[in-house]
Structure 1
């Protein structure tokens, strides 16, 4: 429970703060949806909603994997560069060995990078911020080296089934939306209903206690990064398939949006809390903010200011939840 920091009306302050800490992301989502709908009736149309979800699928798929990393008490700032690598590799191999072989090879190469990060952070106990920040640059250099500094395009865009992942539809629903939904459902069950999921929460909540409880902390962290890299590979597949080509910097800066979505979803930077469902909500909030601001006539860069305000508020509530009061005693 919260202590609002004042004696008068303290009980009400506790109740409000507790409500915001537990359900603030859902409240914010509803408020944004109502506000933008009142500002522009096209905002809530089926075509617009489906378009936003489809455009958010790539960000969302990556955010699902990063949720595991953050809950385990770590960070992953390499996902943007890793997605660029995945897209470039699968496009290059598409013309050389065909999509049926290019896709699994790309997944294996990307997950090998994730395994390397997991080994450094999990088994060697290196700081995740430093490791992944360094890997951001290293993987970017690897991508440029692999591509020779050139962008990649599929030579025969009309004669391949590869486009189905990014451009296809099933019963009128875009394939990227289906892949995002199916992956979210699977990872939600993995995180909430399995022993491994409980271990992720335990390691992030108190790593020392988890170790003394017999939980293989290093392995849990390692597997969290492998899961994250798998999601990045899927995002790279969606990106490459959607445009049938890619710049070698297509994922640059994406790691910040991903982290914003995960934080908005309620995952604590201190580790030990968060859910897949709320991460999905966080992804959709970012997507609808961008879309809503454009529909009401504001420039796209306004979204950065709005996102900053929302993230700051979310982090404040998260810290308040940890210390049990909205305002710091020192202040």
Structure 2
């Protein structure tokens, strides 16, 4: 039993000898709940000490603008993954929608071009949603096939040629990718507004609860009256809409587009989503953590460049981050880092 120490006035007794060190369970719980924030803080401190330019206002603003496209797509993909599925078609969809909105800009004007671009993006989301939600096909196979199909469609539409806006200085289309509001870049505003809106949707609406239910336990969700097909269909529409917003930012920033501009984006987006703690098994995750995951990737890549490392090292670091994030996700569910076989 613990001893007690009584003060001179006899009014306060404090246990003596009690072990006040944090228990192993407390440390594990802290890492599971706050590990992402701790890792983010450590990355920022390490790179700030290594480079005096890293923590400057200009550099931070630049990183936020750079990750806005990936982050905007990642918001939609997070909802798909929480619902228990994958969307690997976002890279090719980004290519197609960017080429489409830029090409139509000079032909029919920026307003109609934006509307048609979003309609095309939502049409792709409908196809993915129908095949995965209602036809119950495997989401990995469906979206991987859609990735190839959309890239082929992009090449057919563009004839293999890059597209550009002729009058780049005389169009308001530049607002979405080049302008600032209250000192913050518009792409950053679009990213953060979408993150806030869909965080509220996931946490404060019945639709959000249905997404978690379908991803966590589809059988129990079905017995509870949740219509899985409709929920899955809606998640792919959201993903397509977010990719359309990213295309709007990209096309407006560059004022042109290559027909393969989105190639590889699906892997970086998925890395940010996984790093943010969204489980590939479905049923768990959050948009704010995805935002942090995307920021970690952005600041790591930026820090490596400032330290003079070649560009390809970013892909190696991204691979390591994905492996560690998936490993820790699985380990947290089984309660240990390693498993043994009999």
Per the normalisation by structure 2, the TM-score is: 0.92
- Deviation at residue 22 of structure 1 after TM alignment: 2.1
* Residue 270, structure 1, aligned to residue 281, structure 2: yes
Distance in 1 (alpha carbons) for counterparts of 2:317 and 2:117: 36
Matched, 1:217 2:248: no
Counterpart position of 2:14? none
Name the structure 2 match of 1:308. 319
Q: Give me the whole-angstrom Cα distance separating, in 2, the residues matched to 1:26 and 1:245.
A: 37
Q: Give the total of aligned pairs.
A: 321
Q: What is the CA distance between 1:42 and its match in structure 2?
A: 1.1
Match of 2:55 among 26, 44, 58: 44
Q: Cα offset for 1:12?
A: 4.2
> Among residues 162, 172, 179, which one is paired with 1:168 in the alignment?
179
What is aligned with 1:65? 76
Of 294, 318, 323 in structure 1, the residue corresponding to residue 329 of structure 2 is: 318
Q: Secondary structure at the match of 1:270?
A: coil
Question: Equivalent residue for 2:8?
Answer: none
- Aligned with residue 250 of structure 1, among 251, 261, 266: 261
Q: Which residue of 2 aligns with 1:113?
A: 124
More contact order relative to length (CA 8 Å, sep ≥ 6): 1
Correspondence 1:20 to 2:31: yes
Query: Secondary structure of the residue that 1:272 maps to in structure 2?
Result: coil
Residue 253 of structure 1 and its aligned partner are, at CA, apart by: 0.7
Instruction: State the secondary structure of the residue aligned to 1:41.
Output: coil
CA deviation after TM superposition for structure 1 residue 324, in Å = 2.3
Deviation at 1:93, TM superposition (A): 1.1
**Secondary structure of the structure 1 residue equivalent to 2:172:** coil
C-alpha contact 2:268 2:318 (8 A) present in aligned 1: no
Q: 2:24, 2:328 → 1: CA distance?
A: 13
Partner of 1:237: 248
In 2, Cα distance between equivalents of 1:250 and 1:210:
39
Contiguous gaps of at least 5 residues in structure 2: 1-21
Counterpart of 1:7?
Answer: none
Q: Does the 8 A contact of 1:20 with 1:317 survive in 2?
A: no
CA distance in 2, matches of 1:113, 1:236: 14
Contact kept in structure 2, 1:203 and 1:217, CA below 8 Å: yes
| In structure 2, distance between residues paired with 1:305 and 1:119 | 36
Q: 2:303 corresponds to which residue?
A: 292
CA contact (8 A) 1:17 1:326 kept: no
Work out which of the residue numbers 64, 85, 89 in structure 2 matches 1:78. Answer: 89
5+ residue gaps, structure 1: 1-10
Bigger shift: 114-123 or 293-302? Answer: 293-302
Show CA shifts across 1:261-296 (max 9, x none): 000000000001110000000110010000001111
Q: Report the Cα distance in structure 2 between the residues aligned to 1:58 and 1:158, rounded to whole angstroms.
A: 22
Bigger CA drift: 320-329 or 108-117? Answer: 320-329
Alignment of 1:108-187 (within 5 A): 108-187=119-198
Q: Do the aligned partners of 2:92 and 2:147 also contact (CA within 8 Å) in 1?
A: yes
Quick check: 2:82–2:283 contact (8 Å CA) kept in 1?
A: yes
Deviation at 1:156, TM superposition (A): 1.4
1:206 counterpart = 2:217: yes
Match of 2:44 in 1: 33
**Deviation at 1:233?**
0.3
TM-score by length of structure 1 reads 0.95
